[in-house]
Chains A and B, each alone.
Chain A
């Protein structure tokens, strides 16, 4: 039985073209890009091409791209750089950030920095007035994600720029979920720094990038040799960088597909589930949402149980329930949105990709009502038996 992979906000399959592009750099083209010989030169040139490919996806200049190991490193680097260069002590972020930002900011708070965590409303939208009120003369950095990994809600980054930038505060956005799924253009979006991750857009795991706008003061997080012009030391992950570049080319070419075919499939899935599964609801703002994400709560049943039943049909999704996460607390994102516990425990995130097919969505629509019905028949709660 073929797997139906609907957990693309967690990670994506490596595109065939990206894999092919990286293979020579795992075999015969093994030079260190820092070496001053033929082998080094080959890989160095190819890295610079990949840098241009990554930059092109967000309409940046190649020299504004720093390769990192992942989105988390990009996020940590951005916030730390802002704190180091501004020498101010106040950080602003939101309650629904990825732990790569939220936990890093909380760690900084324990080390003596001040932190303001801006709430969201029940649709997962940031409270812009609250954001504006939070900015002080001591604010070093505002770090707000472009789109949420769980709800798919897209934040109004342009409006956020209009609030933050006139106050001279550094603005970082974690765009790991947005880039490659919706058009992102840093020429029209005056953020100072932006995090990107390879494995969310069909490149391998272990490669990311940080966009740093020209002229923004920068302090490296990883210090060592001269790689990345001294902004991120450590020998480059050559093969993955090249695959990342290729994945960015593919993402740019397919951005319309994300917003047409993928969105249509997502809507079909969502509409189908809501019409066949009673007591189900969508979490998040459906007006401003990633085209690939549907976060749906099924009341009276528990998320891990749903996932394991789906797994029986090789259908892979994800849940915001506590039991599936290894923690006893369910999704901090859904809690921040005020989703009732009765619904959070049964929340399932379906995240599609351009490889998702109509048949796969059909299989989910066929199996889910039966799974929900079965689990509800076991449950002491609910109206459906």
Chain B
């Protein structure tokens, strides 16, 4: 059984602001019955002051989805629409005293329902629905949503992204693409450029650079997940590595090796090819 906080349990068993507002000024609907969770948020808004005077929800989902929905309505009531838009999924999770990491997507669903409702109120289209490219077909998650959640929550692994968005949690076909988006966002965040020296370099220099990138860029990410990496050999452009710790038998090890390959290509040379021993 999940370890829920007292607040989550309380709001699950006694949710506040349930139901649907009659003649609402805004409606935000997110998720679907197929995906396993869905939230419909209805708002009554004082149009003179732009203040949310009432908020109600209907949720199909687990305890954390219901508690997150309840928390959202509590957090936004009495706020102006602009103030309400400042409420993030982190605020929802904090209000609940935290959520299990695998359930963070419930808080994201709350934030999205609010944004959808505000877009409805303002007669705008929900930007992620309109502009995003579907990356995860199982759960209908767009690249735009993935990028935003990475930035807003400081995510560092594909697993984090799955926990926050569900993307990659179905058939898994989209995991390489999610990994690419993650690397792209992290690369841009770090402001790093492809420092790849395209000209021929000596083997000694190549090995030194590979070791440095492993030490600074790759190992910390793997160690954060209980894994590690060992550089076994460099033969021309073939980089032979071995995964260690939790990475050894991880079902995502193929993705991990792909990520390592991409990082080494990006930072050292496009010609490098990583092989696991």
Question: Which residue of B33, B35, B40, B62 contacts A300 across the interface (Cβ within 8 Å)?
Answer: B33
Q: Does B224 belong to the interface (CB within 8 Å)?
A: no
A329: B residues at CB distance < 8 A: 169-170
Question: Which residue of B19, B60, B170 contacts A302 across the interface (Cβ within 8 Å)?
Answer: B60
Contact A380 B18 (CB under 8 A): no
Known A327-B169, A378-B58, A378-B66; judge A302-B37 contact (CB<8 A).
Answer: yes
Contact A380 B38 (CB under 8 A): yes
Contact A312 B13 (CB under 8 A): yes
Chain A residue with minimal CB distance to B170?
Answer: A329
B33: A residues at CB distance < 8 A: 300, 341-342, 345, 381
Q: How far is the CB of B266 from chain A (nearest CB, A)?
A: 28
B170: A residues at CB distance < 8 A: 328-329
Q: Mark B56-76, 1 if CB is under 8 A from A, else 0.
A: 001111111110000000000
B39: A residues at CB distance < 8 A: 380
Q: Does A150 belong to the interface (CB within 8 Å)?
A: no
Inter-chain CA distance A378–B58, complex, in Å, is 5
For chain A, the count of residues having a C-beta within 8 Å of the partner chain is 26
Known A300-B60, A380-B59; judge A305-B36 contact (CB<8 A).
Answer: no
Contact A380 B63 (CB under 8 A): no
Chain B binder among A133-141, A163-171, A270-278, A317-325? A317-325
- Of residues 277 through 310 on chain A, the ones whose CB sits less than 8 Å from some CB of chain B are 300-302, 304-305, 308-309
- Of residues 42 through 66 on chain B, the ones whose CB sits less than 8 Å from some CB of chain A are 58-66
A381: B residues at CB distance < 8 A: 33, 38, 60
Q: How far is the CB of B220 from chain A (nearest CB, A)?
A: 26
Contact A330 B40 (CB under 8 A): no
- Of residues 326 through 357 on chain A, the ones whose CB sits less than 8 Å from some CB of chain B are 326-330, 341-342, 345
Q: Which of B33, B38, B139 counts the most A-chain CB atoms under 10 A from its CB? A: B33
Q: Does A379 belong to the interface (CB within 8 Å)?
A: yes
A-B contacts, CB under 8 A, total:
75
Inter-chain CA distance A381–B1, complex, in Å, is 26
Inter-chain CA distance A323–B64, complex, in Å, is 9
A301: B residues at CB distance < 8 A: 60
| Interface bin, chain B | 20 to 34
A312: B residues at CB distance < 8 A: 13
Q: Does A377 belong to the interface (CB within 8 Å)?
A: yes
Inter-chain CA distance A322–B103, complex, in Å, is 11
Q: How far is the CB of B253 from chain A (nearest CB, A)?
A: 10
Inter-chain CA distance A300–B66, complex, in Å, is 14
Inter-chain CA distance A330–B139, complex, in Å, is 13
Question: Which residue of B12, B37, B103, B166 contacts A308 across the interface (Cβ within 8 Å)?
Answer: B12
A300: B residues at CB distance < 8 A: 33, 60
Q: How far is the CB of B100 from chain A (nearest CB, A)?
A: 9
- Of residues 59 through 93 on chain A, the ones whose CB sits less than 8 Å from some CB of chain B are none
Contact A328 B40 (CB under 8 A): no
Contact A324 B60 (CB under 8 A): no
Contact A379 B60 (CB under 8 A): yes
Known A327-B169, A328-B170; judge A379-B62 contact (CB<8 A).
Answer: no
Q: Does B204 belong to the interface (CB within 8 Å)?
A: no
Inter-chain CA distance A342–B170, complex, in Å, is 16
Q: How far is the CB of B186 from chain A (nearest CB, A)?
A: 23
Contact B58 A341 (CB under 8 A): no
A377: B residues at CB distance < 8 A: 18-19
Q: Does B29 belong to the interface (CB within 8 Å)?
A: yes
Question: Which residue of A308, A309, A341 contacts B36 across the interface (Cβ within 8 Å)?
Answer: A341
Inter-chain CA distance A370–B129, complex, in Å, is 37
B63: A residues at CB distance < 8 A: 304-305, 308
Inter-chain CA distance A322–B12, complex, in Å, is 18
- Of residues 1 through 29 on chain B, the ones whose CB sits less than 8 Å from some CB of chain A are 1-2, 9, 12-13, 15, 18-19, 29
Known A328-B162, A378-B15; judge A323-B62 contact (CB<8 A).
Answer: yes
Which chain B residues have a beta carbon within 8 Å of chain A's beta carbons?
A: 1-2, 9, 12-13, 15, 18-19, 29, 33-40, 58-66, 102-103, 139, 162, 166, 169-170
Which chain A residues have a beta carbon within 8 Å of chain B's beta carbons?
A: 300-302, 304-305, 308-309, 311-312, 321-324, 326-330, 341-342, 345, 377-381
